[in-house]
Amino acid sequence: MTADVRAITIRRPWSSCIASNQPGAKRVENRGAGTSHRGILLIHEGKTVDVDAFADRRVADLLTPHRDAHEQPGVGAVIAVAQLTDVHYAAGGGCCAPWGEIWHHGPKSVVRAVHLVLADVRPLPRPVPARGALGLWTPPEDVTAQVLWQIPKQVAR
């Protein structure tokens, strides 16, 4: 069962926007490359914070304002579980709006964004500490077990 589980590390506040249960929560992650994985995806909040993202109107509208939140480090833990249901290149005309971007700005280049479409996102009652990685990664079995224990069995199929 755990072999089909993958994780993705996302900086705060984007990770918090995905883990949110509020209307308008982020249900697409913009990346520079796709994946063949479909199914369970652990949302790992990295320790690095995207300070500039707190000025993004979508973030401000979704998250409860916290004074000095941008100065706090990320938690370095799995904070939510989702189903990765689709992966596609960004298209014009509002594809995956309002969170889907057309371009992905990587460290060395700008490429057409790949949208990782998320569904059935469930925040964890207790974050599970884990070391993150670039791209989609396979979490250690003990981390996966601690995460799946916290969610209803129907998600862990």
The string of pLDDT tens digits covering residues 84-117 is 999 999 987 778 999 999 998 887 889 999 999 9
End-to-end Cα, the chain, rounded Å: 7
CATH number at residue 70: 2.30.130.30
* Dist CA 79 CA 152 (whole Å): 15
Q: What is the DSSP string of 97-108?
A: TTT--SEEE-SS
pTM: 0.89
Number of domains in the chain: 1
Q: How far is CA 54 from the centre of its chain?
A: 16
98 preceded by a cis bond (ω within 30 of 0)? yes
Residue 143 C-alpha from the chain's centroid? 17
Contact between 18 and 43 under an 8 Å Cβ cutoff? The reply is yes
**Is the pLDDT assigned to residue 148 strictly greater than 70?**
yes
Domain limits at 22? 2-156
Strand ranges, E, within the chain:
6-12, 28-31, 39-49, 77-89, 103-105, 110-112, 114-129, 136-137
* Per-residue pLDDT tens digits for 39-93: 999 999 999 999 899 899 999 988 866 544 555 657 899 999 999 999 999 987 7
Q: What is the pLDDT of residue 157?
A: 45
